[in-house]
């Protein structure tokens, strides 16, 4: 009887450990890093253009997650806008994905700042969570084959020659 209780206890412990491991795997969010394939997405931009992660064939995609209520995001927008204008002729596409829930605030911001790059809203954070983004702004540079080649967390000065040259080197 005592031996049977020990065996049952051991079986229970092994099953419980397996259960915990399974749950951990389900709830742990993957964070995409440089060198990995970029998760796919499909969006409609502010101008009504339908865009997927595959629509950038032959171009380098700079995918920026941001929000109007995020001071560091707002801080980096002018330089990102300038970067988009400067790099577009070279084959670089910038796509801003706002996680704003407030559509009116998002639209006011886009109109007021006359952004030179495509933007869209992802208020449910579906796209950003696929990338494992939880800090804003966060930017992924994705090459022609759909691989993340650079990742920037936090605001950047996109006119900084070091950043511009590092992106140019990927063309």
Higher-pLDDT residue of 21, 123:
123
Higher-pLDDT residue of 156, 17:
156
- The model's pLDDT over 60-109, given as tens digits with 9 standing for 90+, comes to 999 999 999 999 999 999 999 999 999 999 999 999 999 999 999 999 99
pLDDT of 25 reads 45
Q: What is the pTM of this model?
A: 0.82
68 in Cβ contact with 109 (< 8 Å): yes
Please provide residue 149's backbone torsions phi and psi, each rounded to the nearest 5 degrees. Answer: -105, -20
């Amino acid at each position: 009887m005592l031996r049977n209780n020990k065996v049952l206890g051991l079986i229970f412990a092994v099953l419980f450990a397996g259960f915990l491991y399974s749950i951990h795997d389900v709830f742990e969010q993957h964070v995409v890093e440089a060198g990995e394939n970029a998760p796919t997405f499909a969006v409609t931009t502010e101008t009504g253009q339908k865009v997927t992660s595959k629509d950038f064939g032959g171009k380098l995609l700079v995918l920026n997650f941001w929000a109007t209520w995020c001071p560091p995001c707002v801080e980096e927008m002018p330089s990102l806008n300038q970067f988009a204008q400067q790099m577009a002729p070279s084959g670089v596409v910038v796509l801003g994905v706002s996680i704003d829930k407030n559509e009116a605030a998002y639209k006011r911001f886009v109109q007021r700042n006359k952004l030179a790059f495509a933007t869209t809203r992802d208020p449910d954070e579906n796209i950003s969570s696929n990338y494992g983004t939880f800090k804003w702004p966060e930017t992924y540079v994705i090459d022609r084959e759909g691989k993340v080649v650079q990742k920037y967390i936090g605001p950047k000065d996109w006119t900084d020659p070091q950043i511009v040259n590092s992106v140019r080197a990927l063309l």
